[in-house]
Structure 1
Amino acid sequence: MSFNPIYAFIKTTTGILTRKIKFQKDDIGKTIQMNDGYRFTILKHAVKASETEDKSKITVLCLRFHLKDAESEKEVKPSKLPMFFSLGLPGLREKMWMVNKWNGDFQGIYEWNNEENAHKYVDSFAMKFMTRNAVPGSVKYEIIPGISLHDHVRHLQL
């Protein structure tokens, strides 16, 4: 399995067409408060059908950034194009896209099947693309092993 953009695009497209990637609507519009006090509103939530794996290895990646040249950052919805190059990556199980309506920061919370794949994402083409399109110095991330996205977000909801 590969962290290459063409592979990811094909896997995302086939995953959506075969309904192995589904978009949840229940959490859209909910607000969570992160441990640093910043509040983010959920814009999109994708879940991939995944095989039963060792749940103790599940890892969350929280990634925050501020886009360059966004006219109205506080109202921008996540672009669909970058989504096609991330959802098909090996080991990605779930992702939430969020925005801080106060300062325009974007945040993604990802659930990976293991810590190794979370680190691979941080070193991937997707992260390089994001860094190029973000305000310099605004990209920050935290890798949290041993917790699911659902459990991580549950204690943050307002």
Structure 2
Amino acid sequence: MKVESGPAPRVQAWLAVARCVGRSCVMLARRQVHLPKDNVGRVLRFADGSTSRVYRETAVERQAVEPCVLVVAFTLRWVRGRAHRLFEAESILNTPLFVGFPGYVSKLWCAHDTFGAYRGLYEWDGAERAHRYAAALWRVLELVSVPGSISYKVLPGLRRDEVVANPARMQGLPQSDHAWWRLLTQP
């Protein structure tokens, strides 16, 4: 997979993550973070030939004014076999690392795909905010990911739920890198 852009400088990234965790704690205390079940269990098919099951959805009480879809992919180091299920269960603890970032709207958590990569399929309010988040997230992911496996793609003007319901909305977008990020219609 090729990267749309790289990581943020370490100090900048970790300060952004720290601010996010603080905001996330307030949001969690106010019960502004929700775990909808509508997409859980859905199998997504991607243009690189992989499929992945949605195992969790996280949303906040915000509507995107400038919607964009963010797709993040990474391969975990040291996680094999049954450990994937353990990771899925414990990953709820990672929620404070993203829900407090400015512009966050929702995320579909996608289990390891047929090639071993995990994906997050987000809706964000503002493409620049999505880029800043993904660049900061990179620094968290590089601690636990196979080197070279982190990628992200920001798709401005799209809403996540519309793309999941109708992947053809992604047609006409650049198709580089085997379009690892592009959803396909289910057969």
Fold match, TM over 0.5?
A: yes
Give the TM-score taking structure 2 as reference length: 0.73
Alignment match, 1:145: 156
Alignment match, 2:129: 117
CA contact (8 A) 1:115 1:145 kept: yes
CA 1:49–1:139: 2 relative to 1, 3 Å:
same
CA contact (8 A) 1:74 1:102 kept: no
* Amino acid aligned to 1:60: V
After TM superposition, give the deviation of residue 26 of structure 1 in Å.
Answer: 1.9
Residues of 1 paired with 2:52 and 2:166: CA distance?
A: 14
**5+ residue gaps, structure 2:** 1-12, 168-184
CA contact (8 A) 2:64 2:105 kept: no
Which protein is richer in helix relative to its size?
A: 2
After TM superposition, give the deviation of residue 151 of structure 1 in Å.
Answer: 1.1
Alignment match, 1:131: 142
CA contact (8 A) 2:138 2:150 kept: no
CA contact (8 A) 2:84 2:112 kept: yes
Paired residue secondary structure (1:82)? helix
Give the TM-score taking structure 1 as reference length: 0.85
Residues of 2 paired with 1:20 and 1:39: CA distance?
A: 31
Paired residue secondary structure (1:83)? helix
Residues of 2 paired with 1:26 and 1:119: CA distance?
A: 27
CA 1:113–1:41: 2 relative to 1, 3 Å:
same
Paired residue secondary structure (1:87)? coil
| Equivalent residue pairs, number | 153
Residues of 2 paired with 1:109 and 1:121: CA distance?
A: 13
Question: Which residue of the other structure, out of 39, 60, 66, is the alignment partner of 2:75?
Answer: 66
After TM superposition, give the deviation of residue 129 of structure 1 in Å.
Answer: 1.2
Matches of residues 5-154 of structure 1 in structure 2 within 5 Å? Answer: 5-50=17-62, 54=65, 57-72=66-81, 74-75=84-85, 76-77=87-88, 79-124=91-136, 126-154=137-165
**5+ residue gaps, structure 1:** none
CA contact (8 A) 2:72 2:134 kept: no
CA 1:66–1:53: 2 relative to 1, 3 Å:
closer
CA contact (8 A) 1:74 1:104 kept: no
After TM superposition, give the deviation of residue 136 of structure 1 in Å.
Answer: 1.1
